[in-house]
DNA sequence: GGCGAAAAATGATCCAGATCAAGAACGGCG
DNA sequence: CGCCGTTCTTGATCTGGATCATTTTTCGCC
């Protein structure tokens, strides 16, 4: 068996158990099956309209997923975090319908589309895992649709901030906020000034505290009611777990 | 072999080739595997928050998929048409995150969630098909996000009207419009009056013609530019093909 | 055809959030 | 440290679409 570029124990494609159906040897016996790439902030993993030759698993860092209208207006569709599957639409389409740009230094593992097709047809367990991931992504899209369709600006921002919480909440800590005001605004269908004003308000009311690149939620209950969620409901992380 | 309730050649679960991986006998040898249901307009196939025991394939009619906020505001997430897979989120969740209500008389085939799990684990081809369907649904969600996030009211309505076109466009005919103004508004994050005004404008400008429950697109190019699409781009049907 | 209820259209006002315009606070770097 | 570009904040005004109110059309039904 030839050695492979990917130390399996160290690779998210494996860690994320997306390839749980593949024995370690199967992965390693295909040299070049897994590509590893490093991207600096601002660099693109792929471009909207570009040919979709690979599918990626995000190993570390934050990625902005966004699509633009021909006139330049841009909509942030979501934020990719560690463990996310990126560019999966490439599986059934020739071009990417949106672009992926690194917000921080980013580490990804990539699989060629053709390889992925082969892996999926041969490994039902993997396909089932992917299915679950897509389902989760669909969930997140629906949550964003709810925000955009019927929440007010303050509600959207509150909802967004809540979505920063990791699933297993130990929420008293500071949470990383890898997005600029501008990008939050682009995600929520608002303007940067509006986001700034709402955040200022929440800060003034001691609901949150902000320090460069971080947020701390001080009053969870108030934030949740502000967002228009039912008392019990905890919104799903918009930075979803793959 | 026991006869089954479902005449295979007549069932969308088969027609849609979702169960393409299952031989006819396999489907038919499980009595009750496929349930058939008829719903009158206004009736619900399932409710937001209700237990997800089945997954449905829409055989005929139109279904409104919508989610509500605790305060009653409702967002239409999409419209299900013949061939669509409904309530698939039930596969990985216990409750439906939104509800499905018949807009017209509706005919569905249902599979129990537990059966579906079994079918998927045992039939990789089916799983792959489902994967493609989910991918298409994700596509549609993203299109709606673009509408809600960065299009103006007239653009949204134009974009919506274009999405009524079937993929293989023979677009000079009248298209069915199973939604009331109210529902279009709920889908586009607008008010019924606004939708009415925009449609009135388009009618005045001879871009479209409306007759109860039907629309006819008279000036395709103008409608498309009004929607903010690039000249070449034809928006994907929002009533997606499964 | 005629009646009653729902849906659609139209008009008049209002307001949340956009837009325009300055400042203030960072944050990187020589 | 001190300078400069970027990001964030705050203020004043404007406007697209919401809201409220009324009329007109459509459609199911007798």
Rounded percentage of chain A residues whose pLDDT exceeds 90: 38
**Domain positions in chain A:** 8-143, 152-239
Which pLDDT value is given to residue B236? 59
Q: What number of other Cβ atoms are within 10 A of residue A222's Cβ?
A: 16
pLDDT digits (tens, 9 = 90+) for B162-219: 988 876 656 667 888 989 999 999 999 999 999 999 999 999 999 999 987 889 999 9
Which residues in chain A are contacts of B121 at CB distance < 8 A?
124, 128
Interface test with chain A among B97, B145, B160, by most A beta carbons within 10 Å:
B145
Q: Which residue is nearest to nucleotide C27 (CA to C1')?
A: A212
* B192-207 residues labelled b (16+ CB within 10 A) or e (exposed): eebbbebbeebeeeeb
Tell me the pLDDT band of A139, cut-offs 50, 70 and 90: confident
Q: Which residue is nearest to nucleotide C25 (CA to C1')?
A: A212
What span, in angstroms and rounded, lies between the C-alpha atoms of B215 and A138? 30
pLDDT digits (tens, 9 = 90+) for B112-168: 888 888 777 877 777 887 888 888 888 889 999 999 999 999 999 999 999 888 766
Furthest C-alpha separation in chain A: 62
Whether B162 contacts B233, CB under 8 Å: no
pLDDT digits (tens, 9 = 90+) for A90-137: 677 889 999 999 999 998 888 888 888 877 887 777 788 788 888 888
pLDDT at residue B73 is higher than 80 = yes
Which pLDDT value is given to residue A115? 80
Q: Do domains B8-143 and B152-239 have the same CATH topology?
A: no
B26 touches strand C (CB under 7 A): no
A201 touches strand C (CB under 7 A): no
* B23-50 residues labelled b (16+ CB within 10 A) or e (exposed): eeeebbeeeebbeeeebeeeeebbebee
Give A149→chain B minimum CA distance, Å.
4
Give B46→chain A minimum CA distance, Å.
17
pLDDT digits (tens, 9 = 90+) for B79-94: 998 878 888 876 778 8
pLDDT at residue A224 is higher than 50 = yes
B169 vs A29: which has the higher pLDDT: B169
Closest CA to B150 of A98, A140, A74, A159: A74
Tell me the pLDDT band of B70, cut-offs 50, 70 and 90: confident
Phi, psi of B168 (to 5 degrees): -85, 90
Task: Please report where in the chains the tokens 């969630």 appear, as a residue.
Answer: B113
Give the CATH number of domain B8-143: 2.60.120.10
Give A138→chain B minimum CA distance, Å.
6
CATH class in words for B152-239: mainly alpha
Nearest to A97 among B77, B121, B139 (CB): B139
Give A134→chain B minimum CA distance, Å.
7
B194 touches strand D (CB under 7 A): yes
Which pLDDT value is given to residue A233? 56
> Would you tell me which residues 29-58 of chain A have a C-beta closer than 8 angstroms to some C-beta of chain B?
none
Cβ < 7 Å from strand D, B residues 198-227: 212-213
List the A66 CA – D23 C1' distance (angstroms).
45
List the B11 CA – C8 C1' distance (angstroms).
38
User: By 3-state DSSP, what share of chain B in percent is helix, strand and coil, each rounded to 5?
Assistant: 40, 25, 40
Q: How many CB pairs under 8 A join A and B?
A: 125
Instruction: Inspect the interface and report whether the beta carbons of A73 and B148 lie closer than 8 Å.
Output: no
Helix (H), strand (E) at residue A195: helix A192-204
Whether B37 contacts B110, CB under 8 Å: yes
Which pLDDT value is given to residue A3? 34
Nucleotide nearest A193 (Cα, C1') = D9
pTM of the model: 0.86
pLDDT at residue A158 is higher than 60 = yes
Closest CA to A240 of A144, A116, A120: A144
Which pLDDT value is given to residue B21? 47
Instruction: Inspect the interface and report whether the beta carbons of B148 and A146 lie closer than 8 Å.
Output: no
Instruction: Inspect the interface and report whether the beta carbons of B120 and A131 lie closer than 8 Å.
Output: yes
């Amino acid at each position: 068996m030839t050695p492979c570029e990917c130390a399996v124990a160290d690779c998210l494609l494996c860690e994320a158990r997306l390839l749980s159906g593949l024995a370690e040897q199967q992965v390693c016996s295909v040299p070049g099956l897994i590509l590893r790439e490093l991207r600096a902030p601002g660099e693109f993993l792929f471009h909207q309209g570009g040919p979709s030759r690979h599918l990626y698993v995000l190993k570390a860092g934050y990625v902005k997923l966004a699509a633009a209208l021909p006139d330049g207006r841009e909509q942030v569709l979501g934020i990719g975090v560690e463990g996310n599957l990126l560019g999966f639409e490439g599986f059934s389409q020739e071009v990417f319908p949106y672009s992926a740009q690194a917000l921080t230094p980013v580490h990804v593992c990539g699989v060629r589309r053709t390889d992925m097709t082969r892996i999926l047809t041969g490994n039902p367990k993997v396909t089932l895992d992917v299915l679950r991931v897509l389902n989760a992504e669909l969930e997140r899209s629906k949550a964003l649709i709810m925000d955009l369709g019927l929440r007010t600006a303050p509600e959207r921002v509150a909802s967004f901030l809540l979505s920063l919480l990791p699933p297993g909440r130990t929420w008293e800590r500071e949470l990383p906020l890898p997005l600029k005001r501008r990008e939050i605004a682009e995600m929520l269908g608002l303007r940067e000034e509006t986001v700034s004003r709402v955040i200022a308000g929440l800060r003034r009311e001691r609901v949150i505290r902000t320090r460069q690149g971080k947020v701390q939620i001080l009053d969870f209950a108030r934030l949740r009611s502000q967002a228009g969620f039912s008392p019990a409901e905890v919104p799903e992380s918009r930075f979803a777990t793959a």
